[in-house]
A and B are shown apart, each in its own frame.
Chain A
Amino acid sequence: MRIEFLYWEECPSHEQALARLREVLAEEGIRAPIEIVRVDTEEEARRLRFPGSPTIRVDGTDIAPPPDQPTGLSCRVYLTEDGRVTPLPTKAMIRRALRTLRARGGA
């Protein structure tokens, strides 16, 4: 399982999001390393198809695929299960995506 964590330094919650990802991986018994990618320029954002910070991908698939968010250096909008806007994914969101993608990949 390939796990990527992409972030832009100017968004303040990336460390919290990374800690949250690590917690969920540990709780799910997933030992795959996290590839941490710092995105610093608009060119990098385009090349990496970076829709905003933070972004988590599992085997190349975004854990919460953005509907129409353009790529670029920005903070990313997540919607919680109860419809609230938040700047970082919830643990439940990460866990659900990991389980779904793991089942799909047979990992």
Chain B
Amino acid sequence: MPLTLASRLIPFALPDTEGRLVRSEDFAAYPVFGVIFTCNHCPYAQAWEDRLIAIQRDYGAAGVRFVLINPNDPAKVPADSPEQMRERARAKRYPFPYLVDSTQEVARAYGATRTPEIFLFDRDRLLRYHGAPDDNYEDPAAVRHHYLRDALDALLAGRPPAVAETKPVGCTIKWRTTPS
């Protein structure tokens, strides 16, 4: 089961693609914090990638901070190896840390199942939105409901999002066959 709405953020400390340890508490000063499980290989993650980059850039000055976490087992999906993650983060000039969840413990703790899957926390680090970025992975121009942007607007205005939960749409997380 995924983390339920109004649950408190589960702290984590994971390495980014440059080998630096990133802790969730590093972002304590930001009024809105997004934990986004995603990956390299998945077409849904790729389809939404530019939109997540744009949203981070659009909302960064307002105090929104995302971290991306890749929980996939690279033994099953070589495209999700830390090296390939680093290449992607550099090539796409990610405006957010891209973290390696090699033990998959963070993804399991959050109850994430798909890539991408968003967990958005308010100033008190309570979960206020969980789900997909918007309602159209195929065509950004055809999006009718901008779930993530709407949730950010609401939280920055001190309101709860009108839509607090949507079904995550994407590839299943590629779990290790044997526990680490």
The interface of chain A, by Cβ under 8 A from chain B, is 10-12, 74-78, 84-88
Contact = CB atoms under 8 A, between A and B. Distances in A.
Contact of A12 (B41, B138, B139, B169): B169
B89 interface: no
Nearest to A88: B138
13 contacts: A10-B172, A12-B44, A12-B170, A74-B171, A77-B41, A84-B47, A84-B139, A85-B46, A85-B49, A86-B43, A86-B47, A87-B47, A87-B137
Interface of B: 41-44, 46-47, 49, 77, 137-139, 169-172
Contacts of B138: 84, 86-88
Nearest to A78: B43
Interface of A is mostly: loop
A86 B136 CA distance: 10
B41 A74 contact: yes
Given A12-B169, A84-B47, A87-B44, A74 B137 contact: no
B172 A77 contact: no
A74 B172 CA distance: 9
Contacts of B77: 74
Contacts of A86: 43, 47, 137-139
Contacts of B42: 75
A77 B170 CA distance: 12
A10 B43 contact: no
A77 B46 CA distance: 9
B43 A85 contact: yes
Q: What are the 10 closest A-B residue pairs judged by CB atoms, nearest first?
A: A87-B43, A85-B46, A77-B43, A75-B171, A10-B172, A85-B47, A86-B138, A75-B43, A87-B44, A12-B169
A98 B44 CA distance: 25
A90 to B, nearest CB: 8
Given A74-B77, A88-B138, A10 B47 contact: no
Nearest to A75: B171
A15 to B, nearest CB: 13
A11 B139 CA distance: 18
A84 B142 CA distance: 13
Contacts of B169: 12
Contacts of A12: 44, 169-170
A74 B169 CA distance: 14
A107 B141 CA distance: 37
A76 B77 CA distance: 13
B131 to A, nearest CB: 13
A78 B42 CA distance: 11
